[in-house]
A = this chain, B = another copy of it.
Amino acid sequence: MININSAIFDQEGSIFMGTQRVCEKCDIGIVGVPYDGTTSFRPGARFGPTSIKEVSNGIESYCPQLKIDINELNIIDLGLLNITFGAPEPVIKKVKEAVSILLKNEIKPLILGGEHSITIGSIKAIAEKYKDLILIQLDAHADLRESWLGSKFSHACTIKRCLELMPSKKVFQVGIRSGTCEEYKEIYKNKRLINETSNSIAENLDNSLKSFIGKPIYLTLDLDWFDPSVLPGTGTPEPGGYLWRDFSAIVEILCKHNIVGVDIVELCPQLDPSGMSSILAAKATRSLLILLAIAKAKYK
């Protein structure tokens, strides 16, 4: 019986549909990180994890694309990380601690943010274990600033910081459509951009990943990657984004790969009174939980 009862988790409150607080066997663990302290424009990502869990009961546990029901999987929902408000550094440290606990228990992490800076903590733990880790970033923004509004750990610096932690320096930046001139120069120079060209974005990603079958991959999904029309509830929506069918095609591609960790960040539920943003985030969470389970079955 697995019951991770560390004091760093607050285990009251909702759980994601089809998962449990205490598991007999456990392949995947969900951790919520209700932090949005460096968000300068519109705060509220702190409400993301709870909102995703609450609305998850409004969607089916069965995924018709992947033909698997969440109820068949072994998933523990660890609740919310107990964090202090204010500066990002202690939060990033706690995320690292939480992910390390999971990894020690052979549990694959799925982190629900919270703002994007929390990815740094997750990568810190994961990159320690997997030296050849590859990062896939689905995002509207490059997040390659050296520092932002006086902080090196702002959500606008996430990928810059992650790259410093990854020995492989290998990141695919999928669907980026906003950045400074400098950020674009860095992306182009390093050939990191996965974009729609003559092919769909999923095909382009597929081609880029071909030589990395079996390598450990971490997926960070900044929800503003989606078009604001399908996900208005995010702090810095950027027109010209992607739709569910694009995400769905990417999920299809990733089925072949060894996904070792996932985070889903930047949902601001209070900006979307219709609730469709949280529902899309919950449906994406359902797909990614199944992806993690498929990868665990295949590669471990």
Binding site for B on A (CB under 8 A): 12-15, 36-44, 46, 57-60, 62, 64, 67, 69, 84-88, 90, 149-151, 154, 177-181, 184, 227-230, 232-233, 236-240, 243-245, 248, 271-276, 279-280, 283
Contact = CB atoms under 8 A, between A and B. Distances in A.
Contacts of A14: 12-14
A248 B238 contact: no
Contact of A275 (B15, B39, B42, B60): B42
A236 B58 contact: yes
A239 B276 contact: yes
A84 B86 CA distance: 11
A15 to B, nearest CB: 6
Given A14-B12, A232-B274, A274-B228, A179 B64 contact: yes
Contact of A38 (B40, B86, B240): B86
B178 A60 contact: yes
21 contacts: A13-B14, A14-B14, A41-B57, A41-B58, A42-B275, A43-B44, A60-B178, A62-B180, A62-B181, A64-B178, A64-B179, A67-B181, A69-B181, A84-B151, A86-B86, A90-B150, A227-B243, A237-B275, A239-B244, A239-B276, A240-B244
Nearest to A17: B12
Question: Which among A38, A151, A232, A279 has the highest number of chain B CB atoms within 10 Å?
Answer: A232
Nearest to A284: B239
A179 to B, nearest CB: 6
B44 A86 contact: no
Q: Which 7 A-B pairs have the closest CB atoms?
A: A232-B274, A84-B150, A87-B87, A228-B276, A229-B229, A240-B244, A43-B43
B151 A276 contact: no
B86 A280 contact: no
Question: Which among A36, A37, A90 has the highest number of chain B CB atoms within 10 Å?
Answer: A37
Given A12-B15, A86-B38, A273-B273, A228 B279 contact: yes
Nearest to A38: B85
A177 B40 contact: no
A90 B84 CA distance: 17
Given A37-B37, A43-B43, A280 B178 contact: no
A132 to B, nearest CB: 31
Contacts of A228: 230, 274, 276, 279-280
Given A38-B85, A38-B86, A229-B243, 7 more contacts: A12-B14, A42-B275, A62-B181, A86-B88, A229-B276, A237-B274, A240-B243
A97 to B, nearest CB: 15
B62 A179 contact: yes
A43 B48 CA distance: 14
A151 to B, nearest CB: 6
A42 to B, nearest CB: 7
